[in-house]
Amino acid sequence: MGFPGKGLIDGLRVTAKTLSRRAVTEQYPDVQPELPPRTRGVIALMEENCTSCMLCARECPSWCIYIDSHTETAPSVGEQARERSRNVLDRFAIDFSLCMYCGICIEACPFDALFWSPEFEYAETDIRNLTHEKDRLRDWMWTVPPPQPIDPGPSVIEAEPADSGGPPAGTDGPSDANGSSDANGSPGATGSSGGGDRPAGGGE
């Protein structure tokens, strides 16, 4: 059992240890924090790219994406042309009280309509106000940073110098069928037993 006042002494001991250390308090919101380049804040929408294909809503594990659309038919151009229909986006909303920021919707979108935004200041006093419509999601597109350059990966091993036409290092040049070669690496020439050199197989 501890003696009376032990908790106070332990607390003062911890205070004394940290008293001389540098403060680590973030001066937010007076000083905005420096966010990493790939910060995941909210999800922004580029409405012009959305085709209402519903892939993001179907793949969302939290079921927090709501999409409404209607179909419009464009008149045919020409006698043999067919009428074309397209989906028109009426509503695109994300409930950020349910979103777990997994990014599956961004990966599933085949038309690059969803992007990560570093924006994180969207706190609300009412949880019902965390469902943001397409107008708010489109405004967050202005905060999306440009894409990062592709990392080329480790440096490529320096290529070997180009062949200058000579024999590879450590060899005397190409040999003929008998395994002999001259000093210059030319096949078909052998040294004579006499004082001079002459072509192989040559007579007097």
For residues 133 and 57, the answer to whether their CB atoms sit within 8 Å is no
Amino acid at 45: L
Q: Say if residue 173 is exposed, middle or buried (CB neighbours under 10 Å; 0-12, 13-18, 19+).
A: middle
Closest C-alpha among 106, 136, 110 to residue 124: 136
- Residue numbers in the known binding site for [4Fe-4S] cluster are 50, 53, 56, 60, 99, 102, 105, 109
* Residue 107, helix vs strand vs coil: helix
Closest C-alpha among 170, 28, 39 to residue 103: 39
CA-only gyration radius of the chain, Å: 38
- Residue numbers in the known binding site are 50, 53, 56, 60, 99, 102, 105, 109
* Residue 16, helix vs strand vs coil: helix
Which parts of 19-87 fold into alpha helices (H)? 55-59
For residues 60 and 95, the answer to whether their CB atoms sit within 8 Å is no
